[in-house]
Structure 1
Amino acid sequence: MIKKLPLILLLNAAGVALFLSWYLPVNHGFWFPIDSGIFHFFNEQLVKSQAILWLVAITNNRAFDGCSLLAMGCLMLSFWRKEDAAGRRRIIMIGLVMLLTAVVINQLAQGLMPVKRSSPTLFFPDIHRVSELLHISTKDASKDSFPGDHGMMLLIFASFMLRYFGKKAFAVALIIVVVFAFPRVMIGAHWLTDIAVGSLSAVLIGVPWCLMTPLSDRLIRVFDRYLPGKMQQVENK
């Protein structure tokens, strides 16, 4: 941990700087034109293209969230299949620690970040909402969109892939992040900065203390020791 402490603090500083670059300037400085431009671009496409309208409607349906879990599960499954019984159990423990980390960081971020803002679909007047254009169940608005919890979970997943499964798994995980987080921005349920600033800054501050210290490995060992299944493996051997 001592050797990695400077890098941990550097990542923390980057997360704080990223957040403050958005939080401190009046009207969020240079970030607001980026947010506004991206929202209005896609919002106009909703009435210009039926294909985009249906794409964002489907990808923001609650059922599509299950697809993101399936994608993450398939990536972990590709490593799980290559392992013996002990290795497969360890991957399951990694998944449990990842879930615990995501819940803790998300709760801390939601509670400690002094921000509450509505999604762009509730902020701007005279805009198009997918739920009104198609009248189907889809998430196109949020009264408290910062930080993006969905994007945060996906970024934490990518971090765990890098730590335990390598750079190739990390690259695939980043694709999963874009595929399943960006539709929230396209439909207007989130600003880009909900993810690029809110989610990312929380991950830069919180995740290094878990993955770059002995904490995550210790939690994996604790889960491995106390959760059912280990004795059965020993007896089978």
Structure 2
Amino acid sequence: MTRPRLDLKRIVAFNVTGLLLLLSWAWPHDMLWSDLDDRIFWFFNALITPEPNWWDDTLAILNHRAFDMISLAIMGLLFLWAMLRDPHPERLTRWIGIGVTMVLTAGVLALFTTKGISYGHPSPTRFFANAMRLTDVVSIPTKDSASNSFPGDHGLMLMVFAGFMLRFAARRIALLSVAFVVLLSAPRIMVGAHWFSDVYMGALSIALIALPWVLCTPLAAAAAGRIQRALARWMPQRLHSG
């Protein structure tokens, strides 16, 4: 396992960036995020038309529940690639430890966003009465709205994955993971299920403030190392008993 390290410079840099994002939301909101959110929403909403077309169907497919499984599969393939590229002789148990630590981190952040944040707002398709709803024009079951879209939980989970890849994976895999944060979170914004700020202010600020205390300190590496050592003790016993 990679030697645990404390990187205070990165923690401060990421935390300050996250706090600045929060401050930009608090003041002056109407001069920045509200205008940007409206412009992005109406740009994509204008592309949804009542007449059957490939764009509406594509958006519906990208926001279907089955596509969430495709997103999960993409992350799984990147995770597997990272493990196979790892020259460490015990890479299997090492990456199982990293994976379990990542899932636990994602679970804690998901719990915080659902239970610890009192603020919320509806998605733009529910906020604007005259918004075009994709579910009104396609027969494909899809998600185009949310009663509370803040923060972007889907985007936050993608950011957790990218953060762990940046910490533990090879550079190319880490950069691909960051790119997929943008690509896989975009459909929710394009269809109006999330505001742009739900992802790139709400989710991103949480990630920038919370993840450095896991990934830029000994916490993640130490937790993954403990899991790896436990697996190393358990697996030979299972092989011997089998």
TM-score normalized with structure 2 length: 0.88
* Match of residue 198, structure 2, among 175, 194, 198: 194
Letter in 2 for 1:164: F
Contact preservation (8 Å) 1:224, 1:230: no
- Count of aligned residue pairs for this structure pair: 235
C-alpha distance in 1, partners of 2:130/2:239?
Answer: 65
| 2:178 is equivalent to residue 174 of structure 1 | yes
Over the aligned positions, Cα root-mean-square deviation in angstroms equals 2.3
Partner of 1:67: 70
Mapped partners of 1:163, 1:205: distance in 2: 16
| Pairing 1:46–2:61 present | no
Deviation at 1:124, TM superposition (A): 0.7
Corresponding residue for residue 18 of structure 1: 21
Cα distance, 1:96 vs. partner?
A: 1.1
Aligned mates of 1:26, 1:32 — CA distance in 2 = 6
Partner of 1:218: 222
Q: Do the aligned partners of residues 12 and 96 (structure 1) sit closer, same or farther apart at CA in structure 2, a change above 3 Å counting?
A: same
Structure 1: gaps (5+ residues): none
Contact 2:44 2:191 (8 Å CA) reproduced:
yes
For residues 69 and 155 of structure 1, the distance between their equivalents in structure 2, rounded to whole angstroms, comes to: 13
| Residue type of the alignment partner of 1:230 | M
Shift of 1:153: 0.5
Note closer, same or farther for the CA distance 1:11–1:146 as it changes in structure 2 (3 Å cut).
Answer: same
Q: Tell which deviates more after alignment, 226-235 or 18-27.
A: 226-235
Aligned to 2:90: 86
1:127 aligns with 2:127: no
Matched-pair identity in % = 37
Which amino acid in the other structure matches residue 121 of structure 2? R
TM-score by length of 1: 0.90
Contact 2:52 2:138 in 1 (8 A): no
Alignment of 1:28-39 (within 5 A): 29-39=31-41
Task: Kindly state the Cα deviation for residue 229 of structure 1 after the two structures are TM-superposed.
Answer: 4.4
